Amino acid sequence: MKVAVIGATGMVGDVMLKVLAERNFPLTELLLVASERSVGKKMTFKGNEYTVIGLADAVAARPNIAIFSAGGDTSLKWAPKFAEVGTTVVDNSSAWRMDPTKKLVVPEINAHELTAEDKIIANPNCSTIQLVMALHPLHKKYKMKRVVVSTYQSVSGTGVKAVKQLENEIAGVQGEMAYPYPIGRNALPHCDVFLENGYTKEEMKLAREPQKILDDRTFSVSATAVRIPTAGGHSESVNVEFENDFELNEVRKLLNEMPGVTVQDNPDTNTYPMPIYAHDKDEVFVGRIRRDETQRNTLNMWIVADNLRKGAATNAVQISEYLVEKGLV
């Protein structure tokens, strides 16, 4: 497979290369692509040196797969150009996610929907991916009515500038600000931009993307997205009301049986998911599983994942692996 990584010099791009190497993705050629600022820069992959190229050269090379992590504007402009030359695009940005002609894929849940005709495939939002990984097996069994989710999101989700802001604040040095306020010793109820309805764009991604991935509009999601001073790993407090009643032991069993999900839940040993444990792991971790004692058929849980891994790079590479395995590229 000839694969292009668009945004190879960025934070997700960096993890993407690690994941491609770790999983021994069947590469015959690798194209590392970034903005004109980085063209000519040298990078290494599996001990070999590569030179960063620009987008036009990458399209001309007609890769089988192009994995995009270079922001929505780059995806909007360039994904169709790759699709035109026969490349299948796996896009990490929000540009195509809610386009009804594009599939929004978490491989463990709905990769079977993919066909060779899908030339632009959307990777969901990082917070959405870890949420639906836990909701999917429970929804199948108990049927969700309503989900209330509050997120505790790391600065790595914003990009290099935000990671630098937190490092600068910890070191006590002045520097460029990625957020309108300090993030160290703080919590910002503000992820992505505000919309007219008073929610942020991140909150509306959490409200809408799960319905599309699970192909069901009968349940609703209400979200509050908060940025906290963790370096990497997103956490979520999730309250789910089901149509049907459940047994907690069965909930744990269903979650454990879901590929890619690991239950970490033992109050006796202070065992619960945390961002520092999820770091560099591909799984989604679920714990603090308990009944909401104030409402019928309602569950509380805590979900943590490495937002750059399952939330971005790993999910995109898994989609690419599926395309290769099924002969769709």
Based on the residue annotation, tell me whether 126 is a catalytic residue of this protein: yes
**Per rule CB under 6 A, is residue 134 in the interface with ligand A2P?**
no
Q: CA 28, CA 25: separation in Å to the nearest integer?
A: 9
In the annotated binding site, the residues are 9-12, 37-38, 97, 153, 156-157, 227, 307
66 vs 144, which CB is nearer to ligand A2P? 66
Q: Are the CB atoms for 284 and 107 separated by under 8 Å?
A: no
Structure tokens at 328: 């769709």
Scanning residues 72 to 131, which ones bind ligand A2P (CB under 6 A)? Answer: 74
74 vs 94, which CB is nearer to ligand A2P? 74
Strands (E) located in the chain:
2-6, 29-33, 42-45, 48-51, 65-68, 88-91, 103-104, 120-122, 144-153, 220-227, 234-242, 261-263, 284-291, 298-305
159 vs 184, which CB is nearer to ligand A2P? 159
Three-state secondary structure of 24-74: CCCCCEEEEECCHHHCCCEEEECCEEEECECHHHHHHCCCCEEEECCCHHH
Catalytic residue among 190, 191, 234, 279: 234
Scanning residues 150 to 169, which ones bind ligand A2P (CB under 6 A)? Answer: 159-160
Site stretch for ligand A2P (CB under 6 A), options 19-27, 70-78, 257-265, 293-301:
70-78
Site stretch for ligand A2P (CB under 6 A), options 69-77, 80-88, 260-268, 290-298:
69-77
Site stretch for ligand A2P (CB under 6 A), options 9-17, 100-108, 113-121, 301-309:
9-17
Q: Are the CB atoms for 286 and 273 separated by under 8 Å?
A: yes
Structure tokens at 188: 């910002």
Q: Are the CB atoms for 42 and 49 separated by under 8 Å?
A: yes
Based on the residue annotation, tell me whether 191 is a catalytic residue of this protein: no
DSSP bridge partners of 68:
6, 91
**Per rule CB under 6 A, is residue 7 in the interface with ligand A2P?**
yes
H helices within 42-173, ranges in order?
55-60, 72-84, 107-110, 126-142, 160-171
70 vs 135, which CB is nearer to ligand A2P? 70
Give min distance, CB of 186 to ligand A2P, in A: 22
Q: Which of 45, 61, 71, 224 binds ligand A2P (CB under 6 A)?
A: 71
Site stretch for ligand A2P (CB under 6 A), options 66-74, 104-112, 172-180, 238-246:
66-74
Catalytic residue among 126, 136, 139, 191: 126
Scanning residues 25 to 44, which ones bind ligand A2P (CB under 6 A)? Answer: 34-35, 37-38
- Total chain residues near ligand A2P (CB under 6 A): 16
Structure tokens at 124: 């969901």
DSSP 8-state code for residue 125: P
Short-list 46, 48, 45, CA closest to 8? 45
Residues that bind ligand A2P (CB under 6 A): 7-11, 13, 34-35, 37-38, 55, 70-71, 74, 159-160
Which residues are marked as active site?
A: 126, 234
